[in-house]
A and B are shown apart, each in its own frame.
Chain A
């Protein structure tokens, strides 16, 4: 937790500046950081979900989505399968580097990038053909707000994975846990993005 060291003869030196760093071996700082970030993200998504379910409860007449709008359930379902598949590929990448398989790491990362990019492409295509805009009723606003928020997270995740992929091709990362945090941390974030999409898909398109 504490890095302050007092050696004999230096015990009475004045300490200036901010307090000593507070850290512990219980969890490494990078992983703790992404977990805390995810906690804040859960709250952000929670606010959007609260607005979504509020609108669904108070909407009059109680048909959802309001007529004449329809949601492309099947296309979004395929998109969900694509995104969930990317969780398997990033896990494969991590498992590979844990066993010292750098080729597997690169393959897993590239596949994850491709699947994530495909998901985003299909979502943008869906927006282009869905037949309503964010300004069309509260339904349109919350639909674009929720799915757009998630899409932004996919974009950020892809950016993080791009950095990891570039580093992987440059020979970075190793089997030791401390040597592949650069993949582990984006991997945790990517799984979070996947879980959030599963919840968005079930809530918005299915229920």
Chain B
């Protein structure tokens, strides 16, 4: 669902539409009786609410602005939450940065426990958990001999990527998820959406933490 009132232009459209409806109500009232005008006003309000609800469903197609570096350094944006310390992901990062002057930004979206917690911004615990996982991941990245830093991102991974790209001129992106049968991100189409919106190479890494724990 998207906000039907995001700008002055949207608000102006509302003025025009409501003004046109008001003209119809005024004309009907003056030509007949106020009760007919009231009925028309009620019908128009109901119709307007229905159309607004219908039009605000879905999401607007958009592209993400990408900052460009241009200093010869290879920048890798890694987006992962629970799988941020996974072996597969670290292998992929090592592979991507092999023989390169590489800088890694790890973005870990803080996932709220519930929708209510998300809307209430009650994500302190989620942020702390994400921060702990990210720190362990950064230590592992340093052990690979790479420069890295981390950020806690928006709970929506696609928004977290968009936010990160505003300040981090990434050359490519790695998104790490659980296997398809357990991944909420894959269920929500996070990777597909990122590929549609962002004009950068995107690699999807599947990390099976349970399998890694069994092996270790």
Contact indicator A35/B25 (Cβ below 8 Å): no
Minimum Cβ distance to chain A for residue B197 (Å): 12
Contact indicator A22/B9 (Cβ below 8 Å): no
Bound CA span A207–B33, Å: 8
Q: Which of B9, B124, B135 has the most chain A CB atoms closer than 10 A to its own CB?
A: B9
Q: Does B190 contact A (CB under 8 A)?
A: no
Q: Which of B15, B19, B29, B131 has the most chain A CB atoms closer than 10 A to its own CB?
A: B15
Contact indicator B163/A25 (Cβ below 8 Å): yes
Contact indicator B9/A91 (Cβ below 8 Å): yes
Minimum Cβ distance to chain A for residue B190 (Å): 15
Contacts of A192 in B (CB 8 A): 11
Minimum Cβ distance to chain A for residue B140 (Å): 11
Contacts of A82 in B (CB 8 A): none
Contacts of A187 in B (CB 8 A): 8, 11-12
Q: Which of B77-85, B86-94, B151-159 contacts A (4 or more CB under 8 A)?
A: B151-159
Which one of B26, B121, B148 lies within 8 Å of A22 (CB-CB)? B121
Q: Does A125 contact B (CB under 8 A)?
A: no
Bound CA span A201–B41, Å: 13
Bound CA span A11–B150, Å: 9
Contacts of B30 in A (CB 8 A): 206
Bound CA span A94–B11, Å: 12
Q: What is the interface of chain A mostly: helix, strand, loop, or mixed?
A: helix
Contact indicator A4/B7 (Cβ below 8 Å): no
Q: Does B170 contact A (CB under 8 A)?
A: no
Bound CA span A85–B116, Å: 42
Contacts of A1 in B (CB 8 A): 110, 153-155, 159-160, 163
Contacts of B41 in A (CB 8 A): 202, 207
Bound CA span A28–B9, Å: 16
Q: Does A158 contact B (CB under 8 A)?
A: no
Count B-side interface residues using an 8 Å CB cutoff: 46
Bound CA span A12–B41, Å: 61
Once A27-B6, A31-B7 are accepted as A-B contacts, the answer to whether A191 and B149 lie under 8 Å apart by CB is: no
Q: Does A60 contact B (CB under 8 A)?
A: no
Which one of A25, A31, A35 lies within 8 Å of B159 (CB-CB)? A25
* Residues in B98-131 with C-beta less than 8 Å from chain A: 110, 121, 124, 127, 131
Contact indicator A194/B152 (Cβ below 8 Å): no
Minimum Cβ distance to chain B for residue A160 (Å): 13
Q: Does A7 contact B (CB under 8 A)?
A: yes
Contact indicator B25/A25 (Cβ below 8 Å): no
Bound CA span A31–B7, Å: 8
Q: Does B174 contact A (CB under 8 A)?
A: no
Once A27-B3, A202-B26 are accepted as A-B contacts, the answer to whether A19 and B124 lie under 8 Å apart by CB is: yes
Could you list some 7 contacts between A and B, CB below 8 A?
A: A7-B149, A8-B147, A11-B138, A24-B163, A25-B159, A199-B18, A202-B26
Top 6 closest A-B pairs, CB basis?
A1-B154, A191-B11, A187-B8, A91-B12, A2-B152, A7-B149
Interface residues of B (CB under 8 A from A): 3, 5-9, 11-12, 14-16, 18-19, 22, 25-26, 29-30, 34, 37-38, 41, 110, 121, 124, 127, 131, 134-135, 138-139, 142, 147-155, 159-160, 162-163, 166
